[in-house]
Structure 1
Amino acid sequence: MTIAANNVPVVPAPERRRLRTFAFDPMSTRLSGRFVTLDVPFESDLTPGPCGELVQVVDFDATGNQWYQPIDLDDVRVLAQDGLRPMESDPRTHQQIVYAVAMSVIERFERFVGRRFRWRAERQLRLVPHAFEGRNAFFDPGRRAVLFGYYRADRHDPGPNLPGQVIFTCLSSDIVAHEVTHAIVHRIRPYFMEPTNLDVLAWHEAFADLVALFHHFVHRDVVVRAVTTTAGDIGRSDALLELAKEFGHSTGRGAALRSVLGTLATPERFEAATEPHERGACFVAAVFDAYLDRYQASIADLLRIATGGTGVLPPGRLHPDLVHRVADEAVKNADRLLGMVVRAFDYLPVVDVTFGDVVRAIVTADRALFPDDSGNLRGTLVEAMRCRGIYPESVTSLADAALSWPVPAGDLNLNDPRAPVDLLPNWILSATHDLDVTGSQGSQSTVVPPADDDDVTPLAAPPVVAETQSIYAQAQRWAKLHAYELGLDPSPSLRIALRGIHVAYRRAADGQPRPEVVLQLTQRRRDLEDQTLDEHRRPVFRAGTTVIAGVDGRVKFIVAKPLPFLDPGPPRQAPGDQGVTRRHHEAGEVRLRALRRWIDLVEESDALSAWTQEPALNRLDFAALHGDEAGRADS
């Protein structure tokens, strides 16, 4: 019997790929006897490496001067068993793990921000599992790569590891998630690499830690086990609330690298913290204070039902059905809280971010989607921040209305007939196309930044260069026309650069999408910089503004970080100005003084300042920060 050619059913291409990893590093897997599996998008054009659309694993060991055989995740033998079984001795599984964790982190980020993610100029992020020998792993913006080190465990205090055992940082899911998050932040806010105040790098570290910690909740079986072993009190679960256990123990710390367990909710620690990881840890602890409060509130009814109304659990294990319902709440609340923080990125300033800015951005972004805050999650988070000394300095109260970014004065619109920004049909339609995650990408990049503030030609994929340049030119003309209202200087000698533009669709409480257009504008102020230093070596002073608008062009919020205007008293203020120009100028003067004080403080605190002409501010980077952190274990 023969089958007609037109009667053969089409086998659909898979949408997901399952890949095994350690839980959450080799030490933890050995002690628990468990591996975990990540579910990531199936890339049909994935090549050995793995090398896909967003991530390229390049496995060259610079110390040993050797290449490792790349894994082919499309090999049927690999596909059939959810990837290779992770082994410390098999570099192919190292490649598999960094790819799986990176893709999982990127996918969650896309889901929360409401748009497809792309690297600058459509390039890939390189992941180098065995980049060097050393107790470090870091994101290198210049190489556009995350470099993972390997080292020997401490010979005197290796924790649950062999003395001198080789430890691979690429096998820690926490470290991979943390470093990939640094790369994501650099992609969407590149000037957060310029440490213009105490909080900038601390926020980088805090956000990377938050993403890594909340990534634990992706593994539902881990959450179920934590609920089971703690009888629902997951605040006692080190599996969920500690980062990089193997790294911490193997470097002689005697504990995980970082933990949110057992930290007192007082403002003194935050006020005294100057090291970025330590300062960022205060923010992370506050977020988890709010998470645990909300989690306990969400399972209270389940506990009352299970205990006949008392809410007091008897000794012993929870019923399996109750365990799974409680685990559902733990995962749901983790998603909700991380989503609040991730979505806030579009509402952050372009430069010079502070933790106070972060609090305001979180409240503004969440209020736009969940105006009622029915579970009082915003209120709980703001109070947790306040208890740890984290709040904006320039607000009148901690109410939602006071914390939200102010609505611009006057009728500011991207469709101003004097300098319209034509977002249709290309940008909005392209973003709509991107909503279908199973289909091809839209024709426009979500953000196509110029190479530098002085580069008038933006980077873009060749097919859309003309269209991209057109939208950039339109946006720059619009920004120049409304410069005073945006906190930027309209002087002809000072160029305004469009750092990025994208359209995002975020789902609100009513289940409907809320489309928004986000512009990032910057302006370098060479006239305010230290003229005694070489232009390419001196600390850069930038004004910056984030503009959030509806797809109808109406500007909803302006998040400005101004610097003093060359002409603080323009003869003609914009219609509806209502003193905005003067307020921006005065805020710019305050910010300029703070910038100069900060630069002087960093210079005075750096022991190398007397021996080099390189400004101390320019020597702060992730390699140095993470190297210092690893080095503290040896002291």
Structure 2
Amino acid sequence: MDQIAHVAATTAAGLRTSACGNSGIGPPARRRLRTFAFDPMSTRLSGRFLTLDIPFECIRGPGPDGRLVQVVDFDASREAWYEPVDLDDPFVLAQDGIRPAEGDPRAHQQVVYAVAMSVIERFERFMGRRFRWHGDQILRLVPHAFDGRNAYFDPRRRAVLFGYYQADAENPGANLPGQVIFTCLSSDIVAHEVTHAIVHRIRRLYNESTNRDVFAWHEAVADLMALFQHFAHRDVVLEAIANTSGQLEKSAGLLELAREFGESTGRGAALRSAIKDPNRTPDRFRAAQEPHERGACFVAAVFDAYLDAYQNAIADLLRIATGGTGMLPAGRLHPDLVSRLADEAVKTADRILGMVVRGFDYLPVIDVTFGDVVRAIVTADRGLYPEDRLHLRSSLVEALRQRGIWPISVASLTDEALIWQKPDTRLNLSDGDHPVDLSRVILSASKDLDPIGNPGELRTPALHDGNGSAGSADTQTRRSVFDQVAKDLTAWARSNAPQLGLDPNFAISCEGIHVSYRLAGDRLPRPELAIQLLQRRADLEESTQGKQPVIRAGTALVVSADGSVDYVIAKPLPLSNESSADDNAARVLHEAGRLRLAAMREWFDKLEADDALSAWTAEHAIHRLDFAAIHSETGQ
């Protein structure tokens, strides 16, 4: 599979130059591309295709080879690659892309590109900024990467690899025994895997299992994005409401994930369901260990909150439609009522998913837990909607509580108790001996949001591209800007290390700087900076024999445009010089770090004990735990 980078580079070198814009007429704002109704089996049974409305970009050439994703249709199992689709061909443009067909690899390429771009756009909208990979990097999508019942994101290759396989001979579901099933044609699987890649870009070190929630959170977000992606298709929501008289919890297809994959592999049902366990108890979460199972508990709680919020949103419509009784008569609903219910279903889904995604900038840089996730979501949402007039935030917190998910270190579940605490002392990046000039960062982010202006010059760069070179001249220019800001930031952080949950005796690195503009309840944008700081503590790493876990401290800062630090979200470690803990804040930091280190070591020991290969290799089990391994345990 290392040939992917070579094939991608070779393909790109021979592609035609885009004629986009040469006619003197500006490009359209949107591009429409047809996909299957979630998967080929669903389309065959329903007789319907779906169309995704995604941002139009001047694609560099067939593949498609776009600005953020490049489809490389190389089949490593057969040492072959397939003819790429040209989405800018006039005939293709005129019919919303080519008609999806299982036997046409170009249709497979179209599906993965369309779904990936749709998911990326949703992240952009919720995060309030343009999405970029590191420097000149790009995400590669490989529709026919290997022969196997799996699909996964590979961070080393910066690629999503989709497998293909033969349907189960005894229990293939609504497929033929032995029929070839392509995971790349499941919109749910594509959305799930692309979300893994996006989360890895936002929080790179969430691919290190420092506690049992880290990979579970990765899986939960990926499932949530895939499930809520269903609500991007209003026709599907309309049909679900019409068929269930507005009771969405009875709509299996809308709230199920990867039905064709689940049935074709002999499960007899979809891969996962948003409401697999309708009983809102904490038992399942307490017992869950496997990442997919544990993440599914979080997903179930979010959909509990969604269904509650949806019922609250349509209560007035039902009262009007029933003359005040709220009890709908038997039979089909009036089409006008179905349309209004669908509007509320789509709007509520967008709002709930947005709450989860916006919380990312408020999450720790490393070692995330579901308790951290709850606090991050509440803090981010309260900043935009302090009054919670729709009770969405309180509904989500209560749904999570019922499923057994809450932070362990809070006094209650009120907003005031759940939000991250403000720093004890005033912190401002423009103060002290090492002030940080944020003006260029903010200007760059503002230019990035201008659809017709030049893109901003400051983005987190990659040190090298896939071939080991230093990247383009444009990347080098951006790097010099980033390096200066990052240098100033690390110097400022070193001088304020104790207040940031870091140790002043060890080097601090800047993992990322991002500026967001999010719309608040008053419809005005809220500019905000998210900064990630990391610190490696080699003195706490237990052994130099073999490949042992890396021990890190990390801090996420949420900063206002004037440089004032609103939140310090730290994952500390014990101070290297315990005698320096001479004030209360330092003592609290030291004790929190000691407890965290002990918990990590206990988890590392458990991973070693549970891994059958531990007796045969000096490499620690944590380094064998990746997305490919986790997905192979469950089939996806």
- Tell me whether 1:514 sits opposite 2:526 in the alignment: yes
* 1:545 aligned to which of 547, 555, 572: 555
Number of the residue aligned with 2:193: 179
Distance 2:599 2:26 in 1: 59
Distance 2:424 2:433 in 1: 18
Distance 1:353 1:200 in 2: 6
Number of the residue aligned with 2:302: 287
Q: How does 1:187-226 map to 2 (within 5 A)?
A: 187-226=201-240
| Other structure's SS at 2:435 match | coil
Q: CA deviation at 1:552?
A: 0.1
Q: CA deviation at 1:10?
A: 6.0
Q: How does 1:221-240 map to 2 (within 5 A)?
A: 221-240=235-254
Q: CA deviation at 1:571?
A: 7.5
Tell me which moved more, 371-380 or 432-441: 432-441
Distance 1:294 1:437 in 2: 34
* 2:30 aligned to which of 16, 36, 49: 16
Is this contact kept in 2: 1:236–1:261, CA < 8 A? Answer: no
Q: CA deviation at 1:448?
A: 4.0
Is this contact kept in 2: 1:450–1:499, CA < 8 A? Answer: no
| Other structure's SS at 2:135 match | helix
CA offset digits 1:120-158 (Å, max 9, x no partner): 122110000000000000000010000000000000000
Number of the residue aligned with 1:526: 538
| Other structure's SS at 1:461 match | helix
Number of the residue aligned with 2:131: 117
Distance 1:422 1:45 in 2: 36
Distance 1:135 1:429 in 2: 46
The amino acid of 1:600's aligned partner reads D
The amino acid of 1:597's aligned partner reads E
Number of the residue aligned with 1:71: 85
Summarize the Cα distance change of 1:594–1:247 in structure 2 as closer, same or farther, 3 Å threshold.
same
Distance 1:530 1:438 in 2: 53
Q: How does 1:375-454 map to 2 (within 5 A)?
A: 375-424=390-439, 426-445=440-459, 447-448=460-461
Q: CA deviation at 1:557?
A: 0.2
The amino acid of 1:538's aligned partner reads Q
Number of the residue aligned with 1:626: 631
Summarize the Cα distance change of 1:199–1:466 in structure 2 as closer, same or farther, 3 Å threshold.
same
Distance 2:368 2:489 in 1: 23
Summarize the Cα distance change of 1:79–1:191 in structure 2 as closer, same or farther, 3 Å threshold.
same
* 1:594 aligned to which of 591, 594, 599: 599
Q: CA deviation at 1:449?
A: 6.8
Q: CA deviation at 1:570?
A: 2.6
Is this contact kept in 2: 1:242–1:258, CA < 8 A? Answer: yes
Give 4+ residue runs of structure 1 displaced > 3 Å after superposition.
Answer: 9-12, 437-440, 447-451, 457-460
* 2:319 aligned to which of 300, 304, 313: 304
Is this contact kept in 1: 2:136–2:471, CA < 8 A? Answer: no
Q: How does 1:2-151 map to 2 (within 5 A)?
A: 11-151=25-165
Number of the residue aligned with 1:5: none
Number of the residue aligned with 1:485: 499
Is this contact kept in 2: 1:569–1:582, CA < 8 A? Answer: no
Q: CA deviation at 1:572?
A: 7.5
The amino acid of 1:17's aligned partner reads R
CA offset digits 1:555-574 (Å, max 9, x no partner): 0000000000112343886x
Distance 2:635 2:81 in 1: 26
Number of the residue aligned with 2:15: none
CA offset digits 1:456-475 (Å, max 9, x no partner): x9998112222211101100
Is this contact kept in 1: 2:127–2:516, CA < 8 A? Answer: yes
Number of the residue aligned with 1:357: 372
CA offset digits 1:211-254 (Å, max 9, x no partner): 00000000011011111111100111112100000000000000
Q: How does 1:160-171 map to 2 (within 5 A)?
A: 160-171=174-185
Number of the residue aligned with 2:575: 565
The amino acid of 2:446's aligned partner reads T
Q: CA deviation at 1:450?
A: 6.7
Is this contact kept in 1: 2:33–2:114, CA < 8 A? Answer: yes
TM-score by length of 1: 0.94
Distance 1:360 1:237 in 2: 31
Is this contact kept in 2: 1:488–1:563, CA < 8 A? Answer: yes
Q: CA deviation at 1:531?
A: 2.1
The amino acid of 1:257's aligned partner reads L
How large is the Cα RMSD of the aligned pairs? 1.6
Summarize the Cα distance change of 1:324–1:350 in structure 2 as closer, same or farther, 3 Å threshold.
same
Is this contact kept in 1: 2:133–2:201, CA < 8 A? Answer: yes
| Other structure's SS at 1:514 match | strand
CA offset digits 1:14-63 (Å, max 9, x no partner): 11000000010000111111100001111124411000100000001111
Unaligned ranges ≥5, structure 1: 1-8, 452-456, 574-578
Q: CA deviation at 1:434?
A: 1.7
| Other structure's SS at 2:578 match | coil
Distance 1:294 1:251 in 2: 35
Distance 2:399 2:82 in 1: 47
Number of the residue aligned with 1:497: 509
Unaligned ranges ≥5, structure 2: 1-22, 465-469
| Other structure's SS at 2:566 match | strand
* 1:614 aligned to which of 605, 619, 631: 619
The amino acid of 1:442's aligned partner reads G
The amino acid of 1:156's aligned partner reads E
The amino acid of 2:341's aligned partner reads V
| Other structure's SS at 2:64 match | coil
CA offset digits 1:493-552 (Å, max 9, x no partner): x21010001111111000000001111001011110122424xx1111110000001010
Is this contact kept in 2: 1:347–1:559, CA < 8 A? Answer: yes
Is this contact kept in 2: 1:449–1:498, CA < 8 A? Answer: no
| Other structure's SS at 1:149 match | strand
| Other structure's SS at 1:71 match | coil
Distance 1:581 1:122 in 2: 41
Q: How does 1:578-589 map to 2 (within 5 A)?
A: 579-589=584-594
Summarize the Cα distance change of 1:552–1:168 in structure 2 as closer, same or farther, 3 Å threshold.
same
Distance 1:46 1:283 in 2: 40
Summarize the Cα distance change of 1:449–1:522 in structure 2 as closer, same or farther, 3 Å threshold.
farther
Q: CA deviation at 1:110?
A: 0.2
Distance 1:386 1:225 in 2: 32
Summarize the Cα distance change of 1:572–1:610 in structure 2 as closer, same or farther, 3 Å threshold.
closer
Q: CA deviation at 1:438?
A: 4.7
TM-score by length of 2: 0.94
The amino acid of 2:604's aligned partner reads I
Distance 2:581 2:403 in 1: 45
- Tell me whether 1:474 sits opposite 2:484 in the alignment: no
Distance 2:405 2:382 in 1: 19
Number of the residue aligned with 1:336: 351
